[in-house]
Chain A
Amino acid sequence: MISIFIPTPLRRFAAEQTIVHLRAETVADAIRSLISIHPGLRPYIYDDADQLRQHVRLYLGEQDIRTQDGISTRLKEGDEISIIPAIAGGSI
């Protein structure tokens, strides 16, 4: 199983879950499965042109998937994917 960690701002679109477990061969498979379980997440991860949004980073373990094979990066049992969105709060 693969674990996907859902960040606070996106949990409302994922039935308030913090971790989703699923089976997947690649990062793309994992995100596709995640969106099929929680379709409300889609506009927050992909833009209108079906590209990953630039303010959302996907990490496999401690590494950005951009430094690996991007969305095609292959997964192995027990891998952990983190969705890291930009958040700006701090002063107000």
Chain B
Amino acid sequence: MKPLEEITFQKEELERYSRHIIIPEFNIEGQRKLKAARVLVIGTGGLGAPLLLYLTAAGVGTIGIVDADVVDRSNLQRQVLFSTADVGRPKVEAAKERLAALNPFVQFELHNMWLDRSNALDLISRYDIIADGTDNFPTRYLVNDACVLTGKVNVFASIFRFEGQASVFNYLYPDGRRGPNYRDLFPTPPPPGLVPSCAEGGVLGVMPGILGSIQANEVIKVITGIGTPLAGKFFQIDAAEFRTRLLTLSSDPDNPLTGSHPTQHELIDYDHFCGIPQEGNPQENAETTSETNGQITVTTLDEWIRSGKDFQLIDVREPYEYEIANLDGLLIPKAQIPEHLDQIDRHREVVIHCRSGKRSQEVIDLLRREAGFTRLHNLQGGILAWADQIDPDMAKY
């Protein structure tokens, strides 16, 4: 953060921020603190969109943006930072264009990459406050741990369908104490497959708008020192029922980073921690694909269909996903597989698919382990790969 006495404003900035400056407890001092601040927003998705728009409009001096993704049509239902014309563009570039047009007095630092254990500490240590708008457990724990190890405040929010959660982790109190962090709440992530992701479970477009706005508000509160931050508290909302809760968060003495006997002093392998198998080079996977390792490419599946090969195709997605696009397979949602073993053919080759190949692999692992099935093939890349490589007219979601 720059020294506050070096922060000055042009006339146009004073006019722009006048509605802040006339709030008695905010005034020019609050605006000066915002302009001096450096905030890193990780993820430019549903949460990142309102976060970035409001932090930019509010006049945060420097905003770092991390994301390696490109804008997809299915993003536009909630990622209000982007327009239809941005589809296919790198998210950080499209974001900067929109945000710079909103407020030319903000400096943007673009990081067109995925945050991982090799770059997280360096990147996070260059900012004052971190806002976590990511979407998966390995990155949630990575951001948490990197913030604790570098002493940064982590403004957190997360969503699922109509449900949202928010908190301010690792807050620095005036007396030097640190508030609880993500590992105090959830020491370990759920086993893979136990909790669906938004891509599988869906999310109402407005939810990231609500939670991302709460995050932006907490970022501004932490910077300016106004009010009471959401530290040591955990906000939960079920917007379908409009039930909200403000729960108390306590520090866990067994926390490996900040407990009574810390055992973790550096970043770890978060995919491994979250039970996610390591993926090799996709090209290598494609080349080694064979029936022996239980994987099948969309190209081979297309050949099987065209040649009239006798096999069974099973789709383990949800009925609403099937309605968007399907390959005419037998629909048995993943959660119902154990009750429908009798419908799965033991005497023919069986190809199992989902959206991206993740759920179907979990089903195959289960069927092999628990029910002794042997002739199973996972469709690599799922129906998304089919849409990309075989049928460009198929809707992607």
Contact = CB atoms under 8 A, between A and B. Distances in A.
A70 interface: no
Interface stretch (B104-112, B237-245, B305-313, B375-383): B237-245
A78 interface: no
Interface in B252-283: 252
B330 interface: no
Nearest to A6: B238
A66 to B, nearest CB: 7
B195 A9 contact: yes
Contacts of A7: 163, 238
A90 B198 contact: yes
Interface in A56-84: 56-57, 59, 62-64, 66-67, 82, 84
Contacts of B67: 91
Contacts of A44: 194
B196 A9 contact: yes
Interface size, B (range): 35 or more
A56 B186 CA distance: 7
A89 B190 contact: no
**From B44, B162, B245, residue with most partner A Cβ within 10 Å:** B245
Interface of A: 5, 7-9, 12, 18, 43-44, 53-57, 59, 62-64, 66-67, 82, 84-92
A84 B236 contact: yes
A18 B238 contact: yes
Contacts of B354: none
Given A12-B335, A64-B248, A90 B133 contact: yes
B250 A86 contact: no
B186 A91 contact: no
B17 interface: no
B125 interface: no
A68 to B, nearest CB: 11
Given A8-B163, A88-B189, A89-B158, 12 more contacts: A18-B241, A53-B190, A82-B245, A87-B158, A87-B163, A89-B197, A89-B201, A90-B211, A91-B48, A91-B133, A91-B135, A92-B45
